Chain A
């Protein structure tokens, strides 16, 4: 049964098992490799992307729930050549170490800034709960505050 949605401003229709995790549709069918597989249990957050502006764990998001939705992945976060404030801040603060989990963190952060433009440390602790095995949390916290500044929050 075909599923139709918009991803990074591009309308797409895929004819795949509607119970397939959106993560694998994004990566393997649509060839957008920025969204990462981490745990497959909605625990680590490496697969975070936006569905209608809300951060979701795509490894546990069956394709059928994407019908008619607007999806944004890390590849669609920038507007043309203008990097998103989160991406700018991540670059400024040289956040990544190995980098594997960072797209998920950036998508989670972008979703947070949409709701709370100038988050406190407590807001960050409550909302950004992804897992980074390189433990780049300290630099990420700085980058989140910097992204808020760049956004004018």
Chain B
């Protein structure tokens, strides 16, 4: 009897554990969730910093070498992004690159923001550079700098950089579905 009870408890605990695991690791479901799982990833947020210095690396540390935003997001007078970054990754040197490599404007700082705050910010013409929803969708789904997140190359030790947790195609589909639905921002989302 004791053995049976122990077995029952073990099975119950295992099932409970599985249920908890299933709950906590449930795949992102709504287009908003899928889109935001990419936009809040370090590959995006590192260049949407809250201050005037970009972040870099898997731990999003402040960019080495005192790199700063400058007037237009392309760096300061003699230390431009293009001093080191080219229009494509340089996997020999471990320097990432994509066309028009630069920082997002201050008004589009995402670092430290919630998903709903980021979404409101993206849709606010006063902060998004006067972009329409169509413009935003184009930027999010066609801009080579944005899509670089799925082709991030390797770091200076040859280690591949982490990609966003959803595939590029799933992300693009999600952005378009979200926009087609009127770009809803869930009230319950954080």
Q: Give chain A's interface residues, CB within 8 Å of chain B.
A: 19, 21, 40-43, 54-57, 59-62, 65, 108, 111-112, 114-116, 123, 125-129
Given contacts A21-B92, A40-B93, A41-B156, contact A126 B79 (CB under 8 A): yes
- Total residue contacts A-B, CB cutoff 8 A: 66
What's the least CB distance linking B62 to chain A, in Å? 13
Q: Scan B80-114; emit 1 where CB is below 8 A from any A CB, else 0.
A: 10111010001011110000000000000000000
Contact at A41–B95, with CB atoms within 8 Å? Answer: yes
**From B68, B77, B80, B84, contact of A42 by CB (8 A):** B84
What's the least CB distance linking A25 to chain B, in Å? 14
Q: How far is the CA of A83 from the CA of B84 in the complex (A)?
A: 27
Nearest A-chain residue to B93, judged by Cβ: A60
With a cutoff of 8 Å between Cβ atoms, the chain A residues found around residue B66 in the complex are 125-126, 129
Contact at B78–A108, with CB atoms within 8 Å? Answer: yes
Q: How far is the CA of A40 from the CA of B84 in the complex (A)?
A: 11
What's the least CB distance linking B70 to chain A, in Å? 9
Q: Which of B66, B68, B83, B90 has the most CB of A within 10 A?
A: B83
Cβ of B10 within 8 Å of any chain A Cβ, yes or no, is no
Cβ of B76 within 8 Å of any chain A Cβ, yes or no, is yes
Contact at A115–B93, with CB atoms within 8 Å? Answer: no
Nearest B-chain residue to A20, judged by Cβ: B92
Nearest A-chain residue to B88, judged by Cβ: A62
Contact at A111–B86, with CB atoms within 8 Å? Answer: no
What's the least CB distance linking B170 to chain A, in Å? 32
Return the 10 tightest CB-CB contacts between A and B, nearest first: A115-B77, A60-B93, A112-B78, A42-B84, A127-B78, A129-B65, A111-B78, A41-B156, A60-B95, A126-B76
Nearest B-chain residue to A129, judged by Cβ: B65
Cβ of B64 within 8 Å of any chain A Cβ, yes or no, is yes
Q: How far is the CA of A54 from the CA of B66 in the complex (A)?
A: 18
Contact at B78–A62, with CB atoms within 8 Å? Answer: no
Q: How far is the CA of A129 from the CA of B76 in the complex (A)?
A: 12
With a cutoff of 8 Å between Cβ atoms, the chain B residues found around residue A116 in the complex are 77-78
Q: How far is the CA of A112 from the CA of B156 in the complex (A)?
A: 27
Q: Which of A21, A55, A112 has the most CB of B within 10 A?
A: A55
Contact at A65–B86, with CB atoms within 8 Å? Answer: yes
With a cutoff of 8 Å between Cβ atoms, the chain A residues found around residue B83 in the complex are 42, 54-57
Given contacts A41-B94, A126-B76, contact A56 B68 (CB under 8 A): no
